[in-house]
Amino acid sequence: QVQLVESGGGLVQAGGSLRLSCAASGRTFIGSYMAWFRQAPGKEREFVAAMRMTVNFYADSVKGRFTISRDNAKNTVYLQMNSLKPEDTANYYCAAGGMIYNRGSDYTYWGQGTQVTVSS
**Tell me, what's the pLDDT at 81?**
98
CA–CA gap between residue 10 and residue 12 (Å, rounded): 7
Confidence of residue 105 (pLDDT cuts 50, 70, 90): very high
90 to each of 32, 51, 65, 83, 84, how far by Cα in Å? 25, 21, 16, 15, 12
**Tell me, what's the pLDDT at 22?**
97
CA–CA gap between residue 31 and residue 14 (Å, rounded): 36
pLDDT tens digits, one per residue of 51-102: 998 899 999 999 999 999 999 899 999 999 999 999 999 999 999 999 999 9
pLDDT tens digits, one per residue of 18-46: 999 999 999 888 888 999 999 999 999 99
3-state helix, strand, coil in the chain (%, to 5): 5, 55, 40
